[in-house]
Amino acid sequence: IFRRELLYANAFLVPLPINHQHHQMRKVLVLDLDETLIHAYRFQSPRYEVNVNMPPDFFVTINRDRYCVHRRPYVDFFLDTVSRWYKLVVFTAATEEYGQGVMKHLDGGRNILNTLYHRKNLTFLNGVKTKGFFNTDHRQRSLHSFILNPDNAIPIKSWYLDSMDAALVDLLPMLDCLLFTQDVRSVLSRRRQTFINMLTKTNPSSTTIILKVRS
């Protein structure tokens, strides 16, 4: 597998100062699962194709269904890095069993992915499943439509097995800066047009509309 050289070095990542931890609540970073962190498909489904150059990284079996799961390039480096900065939450529009199965593999015993919101935690808006964000205590605060909260979102390109992809690494400088921003909307609202362009060019139900950060 050939991948783009990783240029974002550890030396440029800002560590979280101890005094900062004491004086500011840790922000929550909510990560979409499918087409953001991983790409998955049912084994021997119409989408299933044997690719000897990029075999699945692992399999998840739910009842009688077996899913082939690919990790997005640099996902482990990304999760290791942002877990030092934020409290991580994963969400998926799929079932809890599927989400937990994938999340367990991604966590790999590091104990950084412990909270999952799944199909039953999502509400409908005009017939479309919508995602919500939650407070740092992980009690359900309210389920907001992602579409109605673009100022808390960071758009990212959906991933479909591009081995040269480095979108997760490209997000790190922004997430680094947001770490010390009192209100992330003051920064992310400037990217609203990018978010709108992604929705108008792609079906919103399949577009990866990604990361929410909240104090």
CA torsion, ordered 124, 130, 135, 139, to nearest 10 deg: 40
CATH of residue 167's domain is 3.40.50.1000
Q: Residue 185's domain spans which residues?
A: 17-35+73-214
Overall average pLDDT of the 191-207 stretch: 53
Q: In which region does residue 126 sit, left (phi positive, over 0), alpha (psi from -120 to 50) or beta (all else)?
A: left
> Which residue is listed with tokens 């783009």?
4
Backbone angles phi, psi at 11, to 5 degrees: -60, -25
Task: Kindly state whether residue 31 falls inside one of the protein's structural domains.
Answer: yes
Overall average pLDDT of the 192-201 stretch: 60
145-156 pLDDT, tens digit per residue, is: 345 566 777 878
Task: Kindly state whether residue 109 falls inside one of the protein's structural domains.
Answer: yes
pLDDT at position 207, please? 35
Task: Given the residues 32, 57, 65, 183, select the one marked as catalytic.
Answer: 32
Overall number of domains in the chain: 1
Amino acid identity, position 190: R
Give the length of the chain.
215
Task: Kindly state whether residue 7 falls inside one of the protein's structural domains.
Answer: no
Task: Kindly state whether residue 49 falls inside one of the protein's structural domains.
Answer: no
CB atoms within 10 A of CB 201: 8
CB 39 within 8 A of CB 47: no
* Nearest CA among 87, 119, 208 for reference residue 156: 208
98-151 pLDDT, tens digit per residue, is: 999 999 999 999 999 999 988 777 655 444 455 444 333 222 323 343 455 667
CA torsion, ordered 186, 85, 156, 119, to nearest 10 deg: -100
Amino acid identity, position 70: H
* pTM greater than the 0.85 cutoff: no
Task: Kindly state whether residue 53 falls inside one of the protein's structural domains.
Answer: no
Task: Kindly state whether residue 136 falls inside one of the protein's structural domains.
Answer: yes
For the cut 90, the answer to whether the pLDDT of residue 70 exceeds it is yes
- β-strand 87-91 against 116-117: which pairing, if any? parallel
Task: Given the residues 34, 57, 162, 165, select the one marked as catalytic.
Answer: 34
Active site residue 34: yes
Backbone angles phi, psi at 175, to 5 degrees: -65, -30
For the cut 80, the answer to whether the pLDDT of residue 189 exceeds it is no
Task: Kindly state whether residue 188 falls inside one of the protein's structural domains.
Answer: yes
Alpha-carbon distance 133 to 140, whole Å?
8
CA torsion, ordered 101, 171, 121, 146, to nearest 10 deg: -150
pLDDT at position 59, please? 92
Task: Kindly state whether residue 78 falls inside one of the protein's structural domains.
Answer: yes
pLDDT at position 193, please? 64
pLDDT at position 122, please? 64
17-68 pLDDT, tens digit per residue, is: 555 544 457 888 889 898 899 999 887 655 555 565 678 999 999 888 889 9
